[in-house]
Each structure stands twice: as C-alpha cells, then as structure tokens.
C-alpha cells in the first residue's frame, strides 16, 4: 500500500525526490517477495510445489479434459457418472475373457529352491528411493514422494510383503485395484473410442 501511495505522489508532483522514494520502496518489496519465495521453496519439496501450482491452475481454469457430452457412436451422455460408465464399457470391451488356467505356486512352508525368489530390503529401498514423485496415486491415495521420503523405514516390511506375494502367488486384494484415467489419443474428443485407459495402481 505504501509503495502505491508513493507512486501516486511521484506521478502527481513529478519531483525526482518522490520518484527516488518510490523506486526505493519498490526495490524493498521486490527483495522481500523474492526472499519469502526462496524460504518457501527451501521448505517445500520442489515437485510438490509444481503439483500445487498446476492444481491451482486447473481449479481456476474453465477448461476440462473431458467434453461436457461424450458418446460411443450410439449413446450420448452428459452426466459425469454415466460418462464414467460409458468409458468403463468401452475400455472393458478391449480386454479378452479371463484365463482359466492355474499356476503352480511354492508352498511357503516347503519352498522349492529352483523357483524361490527373494527381494532384499536393500533392493526395495533402491526402487522406492527412485520412484517418480510426479506420478499420481492409486486408490490408496498415497503419493510417491511419501515412499521416497520413507524408503528407509518401509523397505523392510514391504520386502516381506513382496516375498510373500511372489512365493505364494497371491496378491492382497487392494493391490489389484486401480484408478483408471481416460487419456485422449486423437480424433473427436467427444468419442470414448478415441481414448485409451491409464491405470494408476497402488
């Protein structure tokens, strides 16, 4: 406010001394702003700052990635839930029928050395520490940067889970879930057949 008052006074009087006061105030506020920004960036993870910026842009934008009305060549939908179901039907039609064969697994109480596989906590730590923090979360809503920052304490318990899952051939139910996001390919944006699914898993 003080800077703006000094600018108005300098414009009104035209005196060089008033302009000097205004320039000094402008320089002071610019330095203060830059200093506060540096402190904020030092405290925040840079990837997190970038995400927050684009999230704010998206919130304040009137643009939508999905048109207000979509179709599959026959049916047209405008309700968001009905649109999701239309995408689901389209994506599901691209998959084959479930397989009926079974896979022999290792008995955890009597493992076969020929097929046993061990994931060490060190290997898991290396993977966790290199996860892309920009990737979106799955249904569990856990961000990748959480695994990055907690790799040291989570690597061992996760290695136990991975070894158990591999050696028994069984995965926790939640690991089989995913958030499916439609990604536009080309052509008419209102046609669900012009989108491909991307699965964001836990």
Residues 12-38 as b or e (16 or more Cβ within 10 Å = b): eeeeeebbebbeebeeeeeeeeeeeee
List beta partners, residue 183: 196
Specify burial of residue 92 (Cβ count, 10 A radius: 0-12, 13-18, 19+): exposed
List, for the chain, all residue ranges whose pLDDT scores fall below the cut of 70.
Answer: 1-3, 33-64, 101, 103-116
Q: Are 179 and 200 in contact (CB under 8 A)?
A: yes
Q: Identify the sign of the CA torsion 136, 141, 146, 148.
A: negative
What's the CA gap between 87 and 192, in Å, rounded? 6
Q: What is the pLDDT of residues 32-45, one digit of tens each?
A: 766 665 555 554 55
Which tens digit of pLDDT belongs to each residue from 170-194? 888 888 888 888 999 999 999 999 9
Angle at 195 between CA 192 and CA 200, to 5 degrees: 120
Phi, psi dihedral angles at 130 (to 5 degrees): -110, 10
Q: What pLDDT does residue 158 have?
A: 93
Q: Specify the pTM.
A: 0.53
């Amino acid at each position: 406010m003080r800077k703006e008052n000094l600018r108005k006074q300098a414009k009104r009087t035209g005196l060089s001394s008033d302009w000097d006061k205004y320039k000094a105030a402008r320089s002071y506020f610019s330095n203060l702003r830059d200093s506060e920004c540096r402190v904020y960036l030092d405290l925040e993870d840079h990837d997190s700052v970038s995400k927050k910026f684009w999230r704010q842009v998206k919130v304040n934008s009137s643009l939508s990635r999905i048109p207000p009305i979509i179709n599959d060549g026959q049916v047209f939908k405008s309700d968001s839930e009905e649109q999701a179901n239309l995408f689901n039907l389209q994506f599901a039609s691209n998959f084959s029928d479930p397989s009926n064969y079974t896979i022999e697994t290792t008995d955890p109480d009597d493992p076969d050395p020929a097929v046993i596989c061990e994931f060490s906590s060190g290997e898991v730590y290396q993977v966790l520490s290199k996860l892309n923090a920009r990737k979106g979360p799955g249904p569990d809503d856990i961000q990748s940067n959480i695994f990055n920052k907690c790799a040291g304490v989570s690597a061992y318990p996760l290695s136990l889970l991975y070894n158990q899952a591999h050696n028994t051939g069984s995965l926790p139910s939640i690991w089989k879930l995913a958030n499916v996001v439609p990604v536009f390919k080309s052509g008419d944006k209102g046609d669900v057949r012009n989108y491909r699914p991307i699965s964001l898993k836990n």
